Structure 1
């Protein structure tokens, strides 16, 4: 993972992340009682929803801040702290579910992550996931890049947004067969008068760390927000120009 989370703010102000994850669950074709690993479970909101559907759920995340909230809110679910690119489970599971996780993994570590997942599954087990796809938040990233250039800096978002054609071979190399894939636009409403700047503060913290102080980081985020206003502000609301890649493999 390429970020340290403000877990409380993530839970309170960016709940759309797990709400959109509910749609990904529809790709799971499992009987009640099946074992599911929620990889990159964050605050456990989707782990709890999977459990409500009758699955036996284990949540896994690398963030102690997120896991602290998950364990407090959902004491009946087991949560493990581990790196998605290097983990093992005591017993194989029927499915691995991951929402808004894989784009945080460095491209060179994607193969090892997928091999770990394949090894964690029972024969014929399912991997169902959604991640940022090619072009995700393109307007916001372009505005940040221009703002960094203005300051004599290079902007590196440290995320991985592949195409279907770019990601399917990685899955196949890990042993999977791709059963479903779609790349789609999903404009996502943001909250607050400075929705884009707040989004940048939450999700681009690593990139912003090269700036000297919090005031300068906020200034840069607001400048980028101003640059995308014509594209991403309408009817009194801010939107993020999300593009999502949703896939299922066995």
Structure 2
């Protein structure tokens, strides 16, 4: 996961991430009080929502900046810094919940990620998550690829956006049974006059590594202009999101 988070900017411009995460919580139906790990908890908003449902929550994130904000906002909750690829808790959880995180893990590391999650869940426990799915932000990524190419650069999408079949196979190989899976479009409103430009600056940092600031801004502005006819509607910018929402049960060993 190679990205630096500005928590204040994230909350001001992209709070929709945890707002939409409230919908994912509805898939989690382990009886409370149960121990739940919020994997990639960010600023702690969804960990608090889990707490309000009666769960004993531990929030884990690898961003020190986000965890500072989480601990300040929700001092009654437990937050730890850690790597999702190497979870090391003494006691397994009844469920692991994750929202808008798994696509940040490189494709080659996904099997290790799921094995790590599997080790952290009790037999019969639930893994409930939503992440970017196949085709996510296709218009934006396509425009970025073209702008990179005309300047002699090769654009690589920094995230992993799987199909249902791809991710179901990974889950099954690590001892999970998939009980719910949905891949769906979600045309998502962005805040501010620079919605798409700010989205690129926040979420696509890795793709611009090695470029000058001037080159980055030129490309970002060009992409905003190119995508505006489809992504700027009635005075609001949108991201052409596709989301993958799944629930899997760890099979008894």
| Corresponding residue number in structure 2 for 1:118 | 118
Deviations 1:175-215, CA, capped at 9 Å, x for gaps:
100000000000000011111001000001111223112x3
Following the alignment from structure 1 to structure 2, what is the Cα–Cα distance between the partners of residues 45 and 106?
25
Residue 11 of structure 1 and its aligned partner are, at CA, apart by 1.5
What do residues 89-135 of structure 1 show as CA deviations (whole Å, max 9, x unaligned)?
12111000000000000111111110111110111000000000000
Q: Which runs of 5+ in 1 are unaligned?
A: none
Contact in 2 for aligned 1:2/1:105 (Cα 8 Å)? no
Conserved in 2, the CA contact under 8 Å of 1:96 and 1:127? yes
The size of the alignment, in residue pairs, is 249
Structure 2 gap ranges (5+)? none
Give the 4+ runs in structure 1 shifted more than 3 A: none
Q: What is the TM-score when the length of structure 1 is the normalising length?
A: 0.98
- Tell me the TM-score normalized by structure 2: 0.96
Q: Distance in 2 between matches of 1:131 and 1:150?
A: 31
Secondary structure (helix, strand or coil) at the match of 1:85 reads helix
- Determine helix, strand or coil for the equivalent of 1:156: coil
Match of 1:186 in 2: 186
The answer for the alignment partner of 2:227 in structure 1 is 228
Asked if 2 retains the 8 angstrom alpha-carbon contact of 1:188 and 1:240, the reply is yes
Task: Indicate the residue corresponding to 1:207 in structure 2.
Answer: 207
| Kept in 1: contact 2:13–2:192 (CA 8 A) | no
Q: Distance in 2 between matches of 1:90 and 1:80?
A: 14
